Structure 1
Amino acid sequence: MRRILTVLFLLQVLLTQAQQPELMALMQQHKVPGLQVTYSKGRSTKTYALGLRQAGTGQAVDANTVFQAASLSKVVLAYAALRLLDRGLLDLDRPLLAYAPNPRLAAEPRAARLTARMVLTHTTGLPNWAAYPLGPDWATSELRLKYAPDSCWSYSGEGFVLLQHTLEQISGQSWQALAQQEVLGPLGLTRSSYVWQPAFAANASFGHDAAGQPTDVKQFAAPNAGFSLVTTAADYSRFVQALLRGRGLRPATARLLRTPANAANRCGVPPSPADARVAWACGVGLVETSRGPALWHWGDNGDAKGFFLAFPGRRESLVFLANGAGGLQLTDEVLRLFFGPGEYWTTQWLAAEK
């Protein structure tokens, strides 16, 4: 047994030495100054921390550096909503406005049909954002549907903000407090928050534009379930592994994370070869890869990107967080570096979404 463990350790060391130069080369190619990658399989986890928190400085990324999670934030809201479902506090098919009115939708009669299930499967018909970039009046701006509810798939951050508002009304807590209670605290995600924490200041990543030039460190003052989570790859990987195990959820509820609610029949987007391989569950994407069925999601805050892919049958997952606008361009090569050659289809699907 000791000899086997020694061989496995040496293989892991050799793998680490082989992967780091390839990751650094990909970062340089796509002008991404800093990167965290966490690969997990069963009880084994390896985190890579590469590059710089801010280009042009000596501020190195380490395993505790916090990055913007961008839209990976949404999956945490989905998990929290399913926990409230299990306690009978949320009905996925009850209209959200029956829980609490929302002044932004007062002039939109079709909003009375919107449900949590539609939000989690991106079929509300709401726009991604009513206005972008989000200005100081965004939170009180009028909100109109682009498409009929439940008619087609259309990615919507506004939908997740609507569900956030509903969960806040149900629980009587801010989204930050509810996320801490339902997800971050129970899973031990100590380097994760939807609002800025002073403790992050000494080891936070800047964003970077397409040329690799620094933008700023985002210090979100108000929680937004659509994009404001800051975290580490190791923290988020623990969350993804909890999703794969269905931790904290009833078995039937956990299956909602792995069961297609709809094919991604996209509003106004011509079908692509990837569409046949992608569907949507309650809060997470599903994809049929050449290595089997997987869960996935991406994050895009412009100057920071994130991504995960996870195989339920093997409890195998990969999370990466990149502090540059080119971060998602790493996706296919990073997946093949850790999971092996094959077709993963997510970047092809996202390319058609643009």
Structure 2
Amino acid sequence: MINFLKLFKNKTKIVTLCAAFISVGFSSSAQDKSLTLDQIAKQHHIPAIQLNYQKNGKNHLYQYGKKKLDSNSPIDQNTVFQAASLTKVVATYTFLRLMDKGLIELDKPLWSYYQYDRLANNPNRDKITARMVLTHRTGFLNWEGDVPSDAWRKSPLTSQFEPGTDYMYSGEGFYFLQETMEHITGKSFQQLVEEEVLIPMKMKNSAIVWKDELETNAAYGHYEDNKPRKLGKYRKSNAAYTLYTTAEDYSNFISKYIFDGFGLKKKTHQLALSRLAEAKKGKEISPDDKYVPCALGMRIQINELGTAYWHTGSNPGFRCFFLAYPKSKEILVAFTNTDNGFVAIPDILALFLNNNQTFWMYKWRQGELD
């Protein structure tokens, strides 16, 4: 049963959602969960939610709402959403595959593989390693300029601190790693992701760049006031944010990667899941930081139930997250198509997971990473 006092912060929400639970005779059934998820979406004015709760490899798929609010086209389990920064976990796995092949090392400066032109005048250019990229310790800002414009690609990268000495969430680091992987393999990042991830993991409804065939069943993003955005079509891949996928596809990827170590050497899989660096909520260290340290390319949640792994995603018009528990073999993946999507995270977590725990993945910064 959901702990209402923990889940809700004000009387209005309690009255509204308690009424919803009573009206459906709330229980653990899939039908009741579906009805409750619908109510959560309506309560938070979210145009659509696509969700998968996976337990011991079995998928429980849910979907509510429309691809575009001013249309009559409902989403289904195959509707493609922007995965935003959940892309970084796919990029990390791609890197690990190349590392296992002996093509790149975790702690060798990336500059020794590839002289990235945006670092030509940066005095720290030969200090940055893949480990620093994957734990957000490069010293780069999240983005410098208007991504993905030509002006952005030509802009110099600056260091906010000496690489490896502090934490700062950075998409720029992932893009540097992407171009390094492309250089050493002679393949595009799209080809690498398809060969190392999408094809072997049978992610048939996923793509790392926009493909026109996605348009027939793609979700539109929305502003906070629910005004639809233009359909986002990323024609150039970016390791930080351009994955298009479904909750089912992404859950299966997380299961194979985190739970099974699919395609990885045993020591590589263990390393990927290790606590390798600390995160910071702001400029100063917070007592909460210790509950969300960095693994490679994702975060760890440490709470009353032990260790889980998570990441959130935030693209214009989209908010999403995954949370995975290796011990209980549980995965929760949710995609929303609105800038306001993160407000529903506590309700969604409480509906599907054991609510007698602290969900640091939300409490730490209300879902935001950058």
**1:323 matched to 2:337:** yes
The equivalent position to 1:345 in structure 2, one of 360, 365, 370, is 360
Could you list the per-position Cα deviations for residues 45-71 of structure 1 after superposition, in whole angstroms to 9, with x for gaps in the alignment?
111111000002111000110000000
**Cα gap change, 1:123 to 1:292, in 2 (>3 Å):** same
Is residue 71–residue 299 contact of structure 1 (8 Å, CA) maintained in 2?
Answer: yes
Check 1:77–1:117 CA distance in 2 against 1; reply closer, same or farther (3 A cut): same
1:102 partnered with 2:116:
yes
> Paired residue for 1:151?
165
- After TM superposition, give the deviation of residue 237 of structure 1 in Å: 0.6
Counterpart in the other structure of 1:250? 265
Partner of 2:32: 18
2:264 counterpart of 1:277:
no
Correspondence 1:165-244 to 2 at 5 A: 165-243=179-257, 244=259
Residues 263 and 280 of structure 1 are in contact (CA less than 8 Å); yes or no, is this contact kept in structure 2? yes
Verify the 8 A CA contact 1:269 1:353 in the aligned structure 2: no
Instruction: Measure, in 1, the Cα distance between the counterparts of 2:29 and 2:338.
Output: 25
Residue 125 of structure 2 aligns to a residue whose secondary structure is helix
**Deviation of residue 353 (structure 1)?**
5.9
Root-mean-square deviation over aligned CA pairs: 1.6
- Taking the aligned partners of 1:133 and 1:168, their CA distance within structure 2 comes to 19
Distance 1:21 1:269, change over 3 A: farther
Cα drift, residue 253 of structure 1 = 0.5
Q: Within 5 A, what are the aligned runs for 1:304-319?
A: 304-319=318-333
Letter in 1 for 2:226: G
Give the drift of 1:259.
0.7
* Corresponding residue for residue 277 of structure 2: 262
Post-superposition Cα deviations, 1:65-102, rounded to whole Å, max 9, x if no partner, equal 00000000000010011111111111001100110111
In 2, distance between residues paired with 1:217 and 1:257? 34
CA drift at 1:258 = 1.7
1:336 aligns with 2:350: yes
| Residue in structure 1 matched with residue 310 of structure 2 by the alignment | 296
Aligned residues: 341
Measured against aligned partners, the alpha-carbon deviations of 1:255-308 in whole angstroms (never above 9, x if no partner) come to 122210012145x53333421211101111001133221000000013101100
Pairing 1:25-174 to 2, within 5 Å after superposition: 25-132=39-146, 134-174=148-188
- Paired with 2:189 and 2:200, the residues of 1 have a C-alpha distance of 16
Three-state SS of the structure 2 residue aligned to 1:127 is coil
C-alpha deviation, 1:26, in angstroms = 1.9
For the residue of structure 1 that corresponds to 2:124, the secondary structure is helix
TM-aligned CA distance change 1:198 to 1:133, over 3 Å: closer
| Residue of structure 1 in register with 2:21 after alignment | none
Distance 2:284 2:224 in 1: 27
Residue 347 and residue 43 in structure 1: after superposition, are their counterparts in 2 closer, same or farther (change >3 A)?
closer
Q: Residues of 2 paired with 1:198 and 1:206: CA distance?
A: 14
Whole-angstrom distance in 2 between the partners of 1:133 and 1:198: 21
1:152-206 CA distance string (max 9 Å, x none): 1110000000000011011111100000000001000011111111211110000
SS at match of 2:33: helix
State the 1:134 CA deviation. Answer: 4.4
Unaligned runs of 5+ residues in structure 1 are 1-12
Identity of aligned residues (%): 37
Query: What secondary structure, in the 3-state scheme, does the structure 2 residue paired with 1:331 have?
Result: helix
User: Aligned to 2:327, what secondary structure does the other structure show?
Assistant: helix
Unpaired segments of 5 or more residues in structure 2?
1-26
C-alpha displacement of 1:340: 2.2
Instruction: Give the alignment's TM-score, normalised by structure 1.
Output: 0.93
Contact 1:257–1:284 (Cα < 8 Å) also in 2: no
1:10 matched residue in structure 2: none
